[in-house]
Every structure is written in C-alpha cells, then in structure tokens.
Structure 1
C-alpha cells in the first residue's frame, strides 16, 4: 500500500458518501482551551465549503487526557456517535514525567494502535495528528524531551498501521521562535487563536482543501499565508 493510499481512500469516501460524521478525539488542544476560533472550526468550515451540508462534526476532547484515559471513555465519547472519521490528537499528556500520569513509550504506542483498531472496528477511518511544536524552553525539561519522542511514536504508528498522518509539528517547527512563542502559542503548551487557525489550515491542506477559499474566511487568511511561507506550498496542495 502506498503512503498516499489512506488519503485517497478517505477523500474518495467523503466525496462519494451521502453523509458522514467526524469525531475529534483528544485532550485540551482538541477540547476548547479558550473561547475563540478553534482548529475544529476551521476544519468544519473547510469541509462545509467542499462537501456542503452532508456531514456533522463532534468534539470529544477532554482536557488532560492521556491515552489510558481516552481509551476508558472511547465507547461513550467516540463509539456512541457512530463516526465515519475520527481525528486523534494524543500524546502530550502521556509524556508527563510524574509517575502518577506517565504512560511509558511502549504502552503509548500500543494504546495508539489499539485506538486505531477500535476506530476501524466501527467501520470508521482513523486520522492521527501530531501536536504542534511547544515552547520547550518554558516547559519542564524532562517533559519537553519526552514530548519529541512521543510525537515520533505517533508518526511511527501511523506508518505501521497505514493511517493518514497530519504532521502539525513539522509545520510549526519552521516558525521562528518569536512567531511561535508570541503569536502561535498562548502559553508553553497550548496554541493561541492564530495557532488554532494554522492547525486548521494544516489539516485542511492535508485533505486538499485551500483554507483561503472558505466562505467568509477572512480571519483565516493570515494563517493560510503563514502556512505558505513556512512550507513553500500553496494551501490545499495536500503536501505533507
């Protein structure tokens, strides 16, 4: 199976379906950390532009969740909605060093693969996202070091399990530190409204949707231009 086949399969499904349901499954960066435009809003607007009104999007993010906790609520917060697509963004809390919260790397990898299997058992498509780049200089040093390895595990699981990957970190990593710290982040570990809009632009790009074309999308234009500057790619090109 080619690297792009999960993408083609997903795009064909959305195009040819009479209706589909998307669930966002993750922690605080999936749940609304602050009351402003969220990456899920940008995703929803982009899907609406492309697929009109034949889908619904449900946010099942819970602040602070690691993969253990996410798995415990999977039936209630994912399976119960009978999703067709589940976008998984986890790992930022598994890497916490404190023993009461830490999920070892081998268990984290197994949990991510289990989440993917459970999604597929529902007849749905899993999509894995990495987190964005965090401000490691203002994080607990061990957590910052762990975080990089855990995001690599997300990538490895996506490859091994043939899951569509959206590498948010790869794009955010190209921003200079002032842009990252003072524009894209609201604190060391969470994105600002601008950062959320960049995340949404990155996700839409992976789905071959140009964020610049959204209805009444003026608010997203700056993030779309930043995406173009950071990647050298036109939004909507689908390049990873």
Structure 2
C-alpha cells in the first residue's frame, strides 16, 4: 500500500499544474462517469474520442498537435486492479499543443468536439459520443480509478458497429467507467511478468530550480532494472505540453537538463520509470519543477502581492505564470476571457481588491474595441473605455497599490490566423490602436509605470507572437516574450511612485453598462477555433470565456478572501 500511496501522491503533486483545483472527484460521484471511445490508435480527426496505446508508439503524435483536444493519461495499478488517472490536460486553443507520452502500462485518451461543415456541403463531425467524452475529461482527477469495457488494449481493438464514426448509425460499446467497477466483463491486462518497483527521485514531488543553471536530478537504483526512461513536458501553458525530454533512455541514475533549456517561469512535469527485459516497466513517478530566474531570490517583489488583471490575453495563463518565475513571487491571475472593461470593473472588488495587492498589472481592450460588422461600431465606445480605465486606476491608487499599464499586441490576419466575421465581429480593425493610445495617455496623465508591449511587438513577426488558427491569443513564444519584456521592466525600470487621486469621485459605473453583446465578444475571441461544447456543466464557464484549463490555472494561483473588502477598508497599506 505504501507503494501505491507514493505513486498517487507523486502523480497528484505533478498534476497540481494540470487540474482544476477543487473539482469534484469522478470516483465520488453517485453516478459513475462513463467516457465513450470511437477509435483506437488512429490518426486524430475532428469528432474523435480516441485511445492511444503503446502499440501506437511512445507518445501521442501523428499529424496533429492536439492543441484543440483534451487529454487524460492512465496507468495500471496492480494493487487497485484498475487503471488510475495520472495526468489530465484541459486547456484548448492554438497556444495549447500537447504531447503526452504513452506509459507502457497504460494509455492516453484524447477527445475533441468537431465542427459542422454541412452548410457548405461538407461533413458534420459533431457527435454526442466525442462531445460527452470531451466534457467528461474535465471531471477527472488524478487518482480516479478507471475500468475498460468493450476495449482490448493488447489487441488494439474496440467494440463498435457502423460507420462513419461521427455518423448517426455508429454505435460504440467501448467505454471507460470512472469510479465504481461496472458489471460485466472488464478488461484486465496481462501482468504475469511482474512490474519493476517505482523510481524514487530527489525532486520530492515539487521543486523550484534556477532556469539559468544546469538542472540535475537523481534517483535511487531500482533492483532488477536495466535502465530508466525519462519524460519531461512543458506544462506552463497546458498540461502534458511540448516534450523537453521524450522517452530518453539511460543506464545512469541521474539526468541533467542543460542551462537555458527550461524557460524562466515555466512549469514542467518530470516522469521516470524503470525497465528491464522480461519485466513490466515500473509505474512512472509524476513530479514537477518550477523554473525561476537567478535574480528571483533577490527580487524586491518576492514578498509582494501582484495581480494581473485583464481579459483572455491575461487569463490564458502562460505569461502570467512565467512572470512569477522572474519576479520571485506568484502573480495572481485575475484575467477572465471575453471581458471588456465594464465587466472587469464589475469584479474589481472580488478579483483585485480582495487580494490586497501591492502591484496591479492591467491590460484590457481586445474585446472593448471589437467592431460589430453590421453597425461599424465597437462593442464598447472609447469614452466608456477610458472612463472605466480611469476608475480601475483610481481604485488601485485608493488601495495603495501601484497600477502598471500595458498595451497589447495587434491581431494577426495572415493566412491560417484570424479571419474577421465570426459572430458578426471584426477584431482586426484600426480601433485597437486608438484604444492603446488611450492607455498611453492615461499612463502619462497619472504618471504610472507603463510598458508599451505594442511597440515591442512591432519588432517581432505576428505569426511568431500569436497562435495559429487563432490570431488573437499569444503563442508559446508570445507568452515567453511578454514575460521577458514585463519582467525586464519590473526588475530594471519599475518605480514605487507616490500616487494621488485627481478627484474624490471613485464611484463605479452601473453594472448594467456592460453591453448585452459581451457574451458574443467572449465567444468570438476564439472564432477560428473548433466548435465549443455545449454541456450544461460548462455553460457558465464558457459564457465567461473561461475554459476549464484556465479555471485550473486561476484557481491554483489565487485565493479570494471572503470578507476581505471590510478588512481592506480598515487597513492602511505601507509601502
């Protein structure tokens, strides 16, 4: 039992990067969660809920980067006589490519929601099975047990009838039941060769390391092992992201990641298993490391509370998390996808003030400036936008916090990126530059710390900075550059300023000032993405533009202090 506890604990610690904090455990549900499967070891296509086994290869690949998919990895536990969830990746979007490795004693489940092309004479890939499985993966937690029916992993077959897999006549009896063991025949793998013991590393579950130096981790020799397999994945933007080390085999009991290979502020999963001819591989360790800059330990921000406040450009957590690694502190992510400044202002007390921040980094505008094609007008007019920004600035000053204003990037309209028209909106007009000019003017007027990211982006290619198939949100490279530019400014140019309110009027606009079309703004930020799922369980999250992966990052980064507003009013901050 000690071995099982160690296995689940290491998996859970690593998956802290990946999972929704506080999500209800599927195994605890009164009705077991059942995930359907419509393909095995096939090329990933739209509308697929597909299993990948070791017969497919050492990693999930083959014609897709799985950016728009949710994935879950399972390994078999001899002690539980069941498969166990060991990692889950929920974030979807052009900046969320995934490369989960396939454990020898397990499999990877991948699911997406297809698009409907029938209006143009094409195929409707949307089907209930893959949609339900895609939604169901969001309910998985590390440690959940799983049982397979209608699936033979060794033979690489599933029990299905009819075709095509997305058609109305297709029937699948291939199911993964989470939690309670179902009645009937359950697939049990051949474990007669016996599995090697699990590796124990010196990482100890989680570890913070210097990204600018070599990182070496070690482990105790495993009796009977001929060698070891190492997998390291970048989990900064999404769980099971791009591989840093993919199924690297070694006979040593240590492994070194060279300096500069890990991104400052990046989060990484580290998995090691033992292998030997004639034996089953040991269960993988699942541990995590957080890479920080050499200056982080001496940063003046290491004991400060910093909040990043904005829309989905902030909520898609990559640059926010990376920035924390540069500044030596956790940067609280208070971004909400789809928000304009009216909506952002309505949640200021709970999402910003409640944290009693020392610094508030503010970036809004992408949704405010989006132009309604039929009217030629932005969703939120410049006057209201400026008024809302003033209110945000003055509320920060009233808290004793230092506002740091940012401009953002432009929209990329190159082929394969953003195409105007989704939801009747155009994000790529010249409106954006006008709104950035408002930010520049306010920064000068209030004498605030200000980072003109738009100007810095001019020195980069839009196709490098932004995610393909999207054109609005940052790519992995874009997240890295944002973190680098903001971090460099904060460490070298930031000033603690004596700020004063220009007026005593800090009343907030009425909540009703938010445009009724804001939900469309939210959806249109991913207008080039595959169709969103319509599950009731996720409807509220989708309306706010907050994918389950983003909810996970925000929940892990921020704790809302109930009743903190009253305490805040009685407290005078000292800088």
> TM-score, normalising length from structure 1?
0.69
Deviation at 1:162, TM superposition (A): 1.1
1:205 is matched with 488
Within the candidate set 322, 325, 333, 1:42 is matched to 322
SS at match of 1:190: coil
Paired residues of 2:302 and 2:327 also in contact (CA < 8 A): no
Alpha-carbon displacement from aligned partner over 1:43-83 (angstroms, at most 9, x marks no partner): 101111xxxxxx44211100010000000010111111111
1:160 corresponds to 2:449: no
- The 1:56/1:115 distance shift into structure 2, 3 A limit, reads same
Deviation at 1:158, TM superposition (A): 0.8
The whole-number CA distance in structure 2 between the counterparts of 1:147 and 1:18 is 34
User: If you compute each CA radius of gyration, which structure gives the higher value, 1 or 2?
Assistant: 2
Report which structure shows greater RCO (CA 8 Å, sep ≥6). 1
1:128 corresponds to 2:405: yes
SS at match of 2:313: coil
1:189 is matched with 472
1:180 corresponds to 2:474: no
Following superposition of structure 1 onto structure 2, how do residues 90-129 of structure 1 map, counting pairs within 5 Å?
90-98=364-372, 102-129=379-406
Within the candidate set 63, 69, 85, 2:343 is matched to 69
Paired residues of 1:95 and 1:143 also in contact (CA < 8 A): no
The whole-number CA distance in structure 2 between the counterparts of 1:139 and 1:200 is 27
The whole-number CA distance in structure 2 between the counterparts of 1:200 and 1:42 is 6
The whole-number CA distance in structure 2 between the counterparts of 1:57 and 1:85 is 10
Deviation at 1:144, TM superposition (A): 2.1
SS at match of 2:354: helix
How large is the Cα RMSD of the aligned pairs? 2.2
The whole-number CA distance in structure 2 between the counterparts of 1:127 and 1:198 is 17
SS at match of 2:396: helix
The whole-number CA distance in structure 2 between the counterparts of 1:32 and 1:143 is 20
The whole-number CA distance in structure 2 between the counterparts of 1:148 and 1:18 is 34
Structure 2 unpaired stretches of 5+: 1-298, 421-425, 493-575
Give the number of equivalent residue pairs: 181
Following superposition of structure 1 onto structure 2, how do residues 222-237 of structure 1 map, counting pairs within 5 Å?
none
1:60 corresponds to 2:337: no
- The 1:194/1:28 distance shift into structure 2, 3 A limit, reads same
The whole-number CA distance in structure 2 between the counterparts of 1:112 and 1:193 is 28
Deviation at 1:18, TM superposition (A): 8.2
The whole-number CA distance in structure 1 between the counterparts of 2:366 and 2:345 is 15
Deviation at 1:23, TM superposition (A): 0.6
- The 1:103/1:19 distance shift into structure 2, 3 A limit, reads same
SS at match of 1:63: coil
- The 1:153/1:185 distance shift into structure 2, 3 A limit, reads same
Alpha-carbon displacement from aligned partner over 1:182-205 (angstroms, at most 9, x marks no partner): x22102111101100001111012
1:237 is matched with none
2:436 is matched with 151
1:19 is matched with 303
The whole-number CA distance in structure 2 between the counterparts of 1:64 and 1:101 is 14
Paired residues of 1:113 and 1:161 also in contact (CA < 8 A): no
1:8 is matched with none
The whole-number CA distance in structure 2 between the counterparts of 1:90 and 1:139 is 21
- The 1:185/1:61 distance shift into structure 2, 3 A limit, reads same
Deviation at 1:161, TM superposition (A): 1.3
Deviation at 1:174, TM superposition (A): 1.7
The whole-number CA distance in structure 2 between the counterparts of 1:64 and 1:42 is 22
Within the candidate set 86, 97, 117, 2:360 is matched to 86
Structure in which a larger fraction of residues adopt helix:
1
Deviation at 1:136, TM superposition (A): 4.5
Structure 1 unpaired stretches of 5+: 1-13, 49-54, 210-240
